[in-house]
Chains A and B, each alone.
Chain A
Amino acid sequence: MGIRFILMVNKQGQTRLAQYYEWLTLEERRALEGEIVRKCLARNEQQCSFVEHRNYKIVYRRYASLFFLVGVDNDENELAILEFIHLLVETMDRHFGNVCELDIMFHLEKAHFMLDEMVMNGSVVETSKANILSPIQLMEKAS
């Protein structure tokens, strides 16, 4: 499956974006998000970006106040996912211009759409920022 879920959670534990590629009930999600965020918050800069949780791994990266958490299978290439997170952030940055947490909150639709262009069913679809953003830009022009 590759990627199991992608989360953007802030330091207070509020979820700003959640995309799950395997179905979990609401309680499971809440529990999961809480646990993971706590684990990641407890880590510092000198520690690696990979956390082992249950029978999979979390690759995470912190950008200002927002944590980007990606849950992956154990045999996934961790550094590739780490850089994928960065690609995601760069893409959002290009679109929103200096993206921040508020942008994601108030433009959840666009964020979801962008993510859908990049990842589908747990696999990476597209890695070119131009190709990812062009449908979105077209839509904005049309509406």
Chain B
Amino acid sequence: MTMHGMRGLSVFISDIRNCQNKEQERLRIDKELGNVRNRFKNEKGLTPYEKKKYVWKMLYIFMLGYDVDFGHMEAVSLISAPKYPEKQVGYIVTSCLLNENHDFLRLAINTVRNDIVGRNETFQCLALTMVGNIGGRDFAESLAPDVQKLLLSSSCRPLVRKKAALCLLRLYRKNPDVVNVDGWADRMAQLLDERDLGVLTSSMSLFVALVSNNHEAYWSCLPKCVKILERLARNQDVPQEYTYYGIPSPWLQVKTMRALQYFPAIEDPNTRRTLFEVLQRILMGTDVVKNVNKNNASHAVLFEALALVMHLDAEKEMMSQCVALLGKFIAVREPNIRYLGLENMTRMLMVTDVQDIIKRHQAQIITSLKDPDVSIRRRALDLLYGMCDVTNAKDIVEELLQYLSSADFTMREELSLKAAILAEKFAPDLSWYVDVILQLIDKAGDFISDDIWFRVVQFVTNNDDLQPYAAAKVKEYIDKPAVHETMVKVSAYILGEYSHLLARRPGCSPIEIFSILHEKLPTVSTTTIPILLSAYAKILMHTQPPDQELQSQIWAIFNKYESCIDAEIQQRAVEYLALCQKGASLMDILAEMPKFPERKSSLIKRAEYSEADTAEQSAIKLRAQQQTSNALVVTDQHPANGETSPVPVGQLSLVKVPRMITTENDTSTDQALSQQNGALSKVDPQPPSADLLSDILGPLAIEGPPDATVQYEHNAVSGLEGGSEAVDGSAIVAVEEQTNAVQPIGNIAERFHALCLKDSGVLYEDPYIQIGIKAEWRGHNGRLVLFLGNKNTAPLVSVQAIILPPAHLKMELSLVPDAIPPRAQVKWVKINRKLFCFIR
């Protein structure tokens, strides 16, 4: 196995090392590649030793970044070599060069299987390692039973069993069916009784994966985990070799605590007490020591303990200890600890409402925003975003704005997006909001997406009082000599619509406004010019009777652009000119823009990026789905990591899926609202201010059951109980084992009314599910199809829907599918018949 024998390889490596530059390196490598390729072609002359040498060279070249597109066959063939050295090379290089999608790999399955079931331990280890690293579905199917057997057999040495555990984990991830959950609960418990810490470490990883998908089955393992943690924390029976700088296997401790975070609560009081003792000792007993490694290790354990305490959320006292610790950490000199302090504080926001305590540290957090380290700045930004609420929003947004001028470019976009979202959500009054957005555009125009200024325009349009203010403000900005293009767009739009409101003020006569805008025209691109043209037309429209001077100037411009190459500009110029010449009737044609319908801010969507593709759902995400706190929720730490749903959970109300009563008599609608049997509970609509997270498909609701598109997820849908409870506005009902804090979007009562007159539309929506109805009526028969749309990217399972039949209707229900796949809709049909027709 030693490389001393492979002189050729050493020489090759030295040669590469001695190359002076990239060119030489490439030459040398190409030469070698050619050489190896030739040798491989003449198969007959290749001894296993030589094959080994060349395969290593290939790996080396590949690692340096040069493509190696041949020789995979040889690497795989080495796996079947009889002797250990060659076999080892085959396995290692194969796992580096190939992946599960390579066809060659399948050829090796048989050999690998032989190695796994064979007696030779070292071969078993090699095989298990390779399968564990790159095994795919086919491996899963053929090898899973053998690997399982190895894992559970007591005659196998720990050396093999620990690898078998992780190998099984891989196979499970590839094909979850291989681990039959029912059988496994006991086996897992057995595995957790293991003394050997090596096997325990890998079994724990396996456990974490199994539990993250389904913790129900593994309750029996919970006390064992606590016992393991206790053993480690008290340093009982931990061999010296597993002690790292005096700390008993910090990695196993961390893993165990991670596993515990997947269980929602601990029932057994004894177990709970033991666990809390352990945690308390960790929280109180972790001191800062000189030795960096020991320090880091003990703090690694501490931070995980913090996460676990947050999850358990049991005792107020412990929680405040945690926050106190975190408060200390974010001010420490050591940057790693500061970073982690900020990160964990952000996580705390989502779990419990310790917001007030966290706010005490606001000043420190704001200082961190300006930290020289970009990672820390990012964390601080996330934390500020998360802890923002009505009381501190103004301060925080203003800090963000101030920081924007000095922020580095990578952060500016995120910063401006978040500032815009916060400004919208927590604006004490709308004029402040307009100020903030205009400042944003002024300072960081390049990073302001169009969504942001569209949104501000929406608000201004919808609020009459805001219009003169916005117009004046915008004029101030555009008076400046150098203005960002986005600002020009916004100004053009707003001044076009509303500058007539300012007409009496000095410097604001139509012709002055026009000339200010027109000055900017040469500086803007073709996307802005159409907006400017519209603005001119509107200005003209508002000055009736027309000012001749203004009119001729504007007409001249329209004339000029009539022959513009850009189709949009040309069209607008031509049409506006024609319209303007119609005189007074222009007023009707170019009337003020109507108000926009309520729409959800698309900004919030933008604050989310693609999801992380972790193999198991993190405990944090699962927790976020179960949260019931009143705090502002930020489900992930930074935008690149998946779904953020800053849902202001104001009132927690139970919402039942309303039952559709025949629409023959309208009076029944009122009954429906107050009826007790499964009727619609009146959900308090949120304050109808413009910053509502309202229906993203609002406009579409009119059309009919929408195609399900993007949105958010939850586990237990349609929180229905066998509805005998009278519903009051703030009842919280546990559905299954989770508390369902579902905030409906929009006004359900309105929708219900609308649907009494229309045949189709959206009936109910919350961040997790959207329910649309399509109804057909013929005579005494009615057919209602409910479209249940899953707004998210994970499937909704255990879907239940209960409809309590009213006395005067006979209903037939089709089966509700048990699970709704991500971002999809399922249909559920309900047929009503009036009772008196039952004779048919």
Which residue on B lies nearest to A142, using beta carbons? B84
Which of B63, B88, B100, B163 is within 8 Å of A18, CB to CB? B63
Q: Is there contact, CB below 8 Å, between A129 and B241?
A: yes
Q: Is there contact, CB below 8 Å, between A128 and B197?
A: yes
Residues of A in contact (CB 8 Å), total 63
Q: Is there contact, CB below 8 Å, between B244 and A127?
A: yes
Q: Is there contact, CB below 8 Å, between B375 and A83?
A: no
Which of B3, B63, B133, B296 is within 8 Å of A109, CB to CB? B3
Give Cα distance in the complex from A60 to B652, angstroms: 44
Q: Is there contact, CB below 8 Å, between B300 and A135?
A: no
Which residue on A lies nearest to B89, using beta carbons? A109
B491 → chain A, closest Cβ, in Å?
36
Secondary structure type dominating chain A contacts:
mixed
A-B contact count (CB 8 A): 201
Give Cα distance in the complex from A16 to B612, angstroms: 28
User: Given contacts A127-B249, A135-B125, are A83 and B92 in contact (CB under 8 A)?
Assistant: no
Which residue on B lies nearest to A24, using beta carbons? B99
Q: Is there contact, CB below 8 Å, between B293 and A86?
A: yes
Interface: B551 (CB within 8 A): no
Chain A contacts of B159 at CB under 8 A?
131, 135
B840 → chain A, closest Cβ, in Å?
60
Which of B134, B300, B373 is within 8 Å of A80, CB to CB? B300
A116 → chain B, closest Cβ, in Å?
5
Interface: B482 (CB within 8 A): no
Which of A52, A80, A135 is within 8 Å of B378, CB to CB? A52
A37 → chain B, closest Cβ, in Å?
12
Q: Is there contact, CB below 8 Å, between A55 and B170?
A: no
Give Cα distance in the complex from A105 to B577, angstroms: 75
Residues of B80-98 whose CB lies within 8 A of A: 84-85, 88-89, 92, 95-96
User: Given contacts A109-B1, A125-B202, A139-B84, are A131 and B375 in contact (CB under 8 A)?
Assistant: no
Which residue on A lies nearest to B298, using beta carbons? A79
Q: C-beta contact mask, A94-128 vs B, less than 8 Å → 1, else 0?
A: 00000000000111111011001000111111111
Q: Is there contact, CB below 8 Å, between A47 and B373?
A: yes
Chain B contacts of A75 at CB under 8 A?
614, 618-620
Chain B contacts of A142 at CB under 8 A?
84
Interface centre among B205, B303, B642 (most CB of A within 10 A): B205
Interface: B393 (CB within 8 A): no
Chain B contacts of A79 at CB under 8 A?
296-297, 299-300, 303, 336, 340
Q: Is there contact, CB below 8 Å, between B336 and A82?
A: yes
Which residue on B lies nearest to A122, using beta carbons? B615
A49 → chain B, closest Cβ, in Å?
6
Q: Is there contact, CB below 8 Å, between B375 and A48?
A: yes
Interface centre among A33, A56, A87, A127 (most CB of B within 10 A): A127
Interface: B355 (CB within 8 A): no
Give Cα distance in the complex from A109 to B614, angstroms: 29
Residues of B40-68 whose CB lies within 8 A of A: 56, 59-60, 62-67
Which residue on A lies nearest to B59, using beta carbons? A108
Q: C-beta contact mask, B167-182 vs A, less than 8 Å → 1, else 0?
A: 1011000000000000
Q: Is there contact, CB below 8 Å, between B375 and A17?
A: no
Chain B contacts of A140 at CB under 8 A?
1-2
Q: Is there contact, CB below 8 Å, between B166 and A82?
A: no
Chain B contacts of A105 at CB under 8 A?
13, 17
Which residue on A lies nearest to B615, using beta carbons? A1
Chain A contacts of B59 at CB under 8 A?
108
A92 → chain B, closest Cβ, in Å?
15
Q: Is there contact, CB below 8 Å, between A73 and B618?
A: yes
Given contacts A48-B375, A80-B250, A121-B132, 17 further A-B pairs with CB under 8 A are: A26-B67, A46-B372, A55-B611, A77-B300, A78-B300, A80-B297, A80-B304, A82-B336, A105-B17, A107-B3, A109-B1, A110-B3, A120-B166, A120-B170, A121-B133, A127-B251, A135-B122
17 A–B contacts from the bound complex (CB under 8 Å): A2-B205, A33-B65, A46-B372, A52-B640, A55-B642, A74-B636, A74-B638, A75-B614, A79-B300, A106-B10, A108-B56, A116-B92, A123-B205, A125-B202, A127-B242, A140-B2, A143-B85
